[in-house]
Amino acid sequence: MDLGIKDKVALVLASSKGLGKSVALGLAREGAKVIICGRDRNVLGETENEIKNSTGAKVFSIPCDLTQEDQRRNLTKLSKDKWGSVDILVTNTGGPPPGSFEEFELDDWDGLFNHLFLSAVDVIKKVLPDMKENNYGRILTITSISVKQPVDNLISSNAVRSAILGFMKSLSNEVATYGITVNNIMPGFTLTGRLKKLMDENPKFGEVEDLIPMKRLGTPEEFASAAVFLVSESASYITGASLPVDGGWIKGF
């Protein structure tokens, strides 16, 4: 199926590793011009080369710490200088620390809000005017299954990510007549570096497979397939939606 992504400019946040990288790779396979970003210049360079070599697509990497406003501004400016306005934006960040309520101080919440919420909102604010002018855009936020069903010992994610959900749903309504879709994708337990670390540090995470109806973890490739579809031309009538890619983990309907 031609997803209609060829030559679209796609900016994927936090994409040197893990889910962001798998989405960048999926978009590159469909012929998009992909801009990746992350904090570590070396890892980013390796990822850029890996995606270029395996897909032949145009890939450009920009070092950026998404918690810093000046770096976000630089990211969107360099991206526009390179290939013009962004058609597809996938927001993502590194995962928040695990822990329960007692383990977080007020300052921690400030940091979490900046990291998980403001980083996405600000990049969206910076690319949206061009999307409106072009009457075209795809915005997809990577959140977590935690926005539909809290994950134990992950109060930071459970709390702050829910704000993104409300923001995305409101935004989807505000920009719907501009040909811009705004959706949210919720990864379940997916085998990335972050999950391996969480499993190593917390033995309880080792038991998660038992709670997944499919009795296995997801792969980054399975996640990317769904994400790429949601930002494609083929998904033109889907907006304001939240899609779980979780092997059935979320219990509600």
Rounded to a whole number of angstroms, the minimum distance from the CB of residue 218 to ligand NAD is: 7
Length of the chain: 253
Question: What H or E segment, with its residue span, contains residue 135?
Answer: none
Q: State both tokens at 65.
A: 């710490």
Neighbours of 250 (CB within 10 A): 16
- Cβ atoms of residues 21 and 95 within 8 Å: no
Residue closer to ligand NAD, measured from CB, 74 or 134:
74
Taking the C-alpha atoms of residue 101 and residue 90, their distance in angstroms, rounded to an integer, is 30
What the block records as the tokens of 48 is 């850029």
Q: Contact, 128 vs 172, CB < 8 A?
A: no
Of 6 and 197, CB closest to ligand NAD: 197
Residues 62, 35: Cα–Cα separation, whole Å: 7
Residue of 55, 76, 93, 232 interacting with ligand NAD (CB under 6 A): 93
Q: Tell me, by CB under 6 A, how many residues bind ligand NAD.
A: 25
Report in angstroms how near the CB of residue 220 gets to ligand NAD at its nearest. 7
* Closer residue to ligand NAD (CB): 189 or 229: 189
Instruction: Indicate the Cα dihedral angle 230, 231, 234, 236, nearest 10°.
Output: 90
* Residue with Cβ nearer ligand NAD (76 or 190): 190
Q: Which stretch binds ligand NAD (CB under 6 A): 51-59, 60-68, 75-83, 166-174?
A: 60-68
Q: Which one of residues 3, 32, 62, 66 is an interface residue with ligand NAD (CB under 6 A)?
A: 66
Q: Which stretch binds ligand NAD (CB under 6 A): 25-33, 91-99, 128-136, 175-183?
A: 91-99
39, 73, 80, 169: which one contacts ligand NAD (CB under 6 A)?
A: 39
Which tokens go with 33?
């011009």
Q: Which of residues 8-27 bind ligand NAD (CB under 6 A)?
A: 14, 16-20
Q: Is the dihedral of CA 163, 168, 174, 175 positive or negative?
A: positive
- Exactly one of 46, 52, 60, 67 binds ligand NAD (CB under 6 A); that residue is 67
Cα–Cα dist 120/14, whole Å: 11
Out of 4, 78, 85, 94, name the contact with ligand NAD by CB under 6 A.
94
Regarding 164 and contact with ligand NAD (CB under 6 A), the answer is no
State whether residue 183 is helix, strand or coil. Answer: strand
Contact 229, 127 (CB under 8 A): no
Shortest distance, CB of residue 65 to ligand NAD, whole angstroms?
5
Question: 3-class SS at 216?
Answer: coil
Question: If binding is defined by CB under 6 A, does position 194 make contact with ligand NAD?
Answer: yes
**Residues of this chain that bind ligand NAD (CB under 6 A):** 14, 16-20, 38-39, 64-67, 92-95, 142, 144, 187, 189-190, 192-195
